A and B are shown apart, each in its own frame.
Chain A
């Protein structure tokens, strides 16, 4: 679904560097989410936002921060990257209202981040 895009798609960085992952959506959704995917651990929620002025921590927010610059943009930052933040990162969106469940999320293609 090209409506949710992530940049960059791949990134290799060094320990201690600051890095930002960006997510944009054209679905008009209010809700946006950041997850990380690790083998054997599934998807874990890092941060989520229900509108521009609403930012919430997920289950694994330590070491991460986010910015909701607009309804369509939600960025994830690693202030000082460490090797155990090597993972696949997904952005997702969800709408409210209508006949669909608000739990139906639409995912971006993912960003593969490697911290050396």
Chain B
């Protein structure tokens, strides 16, 4: 069965510090991994997907199949990055399995 684990419920950093949100997954097939973000008073939205290898708002995430991880990183956090972040795994049936979420707070 597929599973996504985000070990940190809460993560606090100061502005300008590096930030890494951890995500590990368990899936026997070929995974598609995503990060979704929910800013205060906004709806959940896609941040980035591993397939496109893109950098969005300074965030990057690399799929490590050996460690079954898809950690989200940003070298210099900004206050506007404060939000709830969800890691999600796409399975072969068009469904997403979400992790428990990590609330990131960036202090000034």
Contacts and interface: CB of A to CB of B under 8 A. Distances in A.
Interface residues of A, number: 27
B94 A1 contact: no
Indicate the size class of the contact surface on chain B: 20 to 34
A31 B96 CA distance: 12
A91 to B, nearest CB: 10
Given A105-B46, A107-B45, A108-B43, A42 B101 contact: yes
Contacts of A103: 32, 34, 49, 88, 90, 94, 96
A43 interface: yes
A40 to B, nearest CB: 6
Interface string A97-116: 00001111111111000000
The 7 closest A-B pairs by CB, nearest first: A103-B90, A42-B100, A43-B98, A107-B44, A42-B98, A42-B101, A107-B43
Interface of B: 6, 9, 32, 34, 43-46, 49, 51, 86, 88, 90, 94-101
Interface of A: 1, 4, 31, 33, 35, 40-45, 48, 50, 58, 90, 92, 94, 101-110
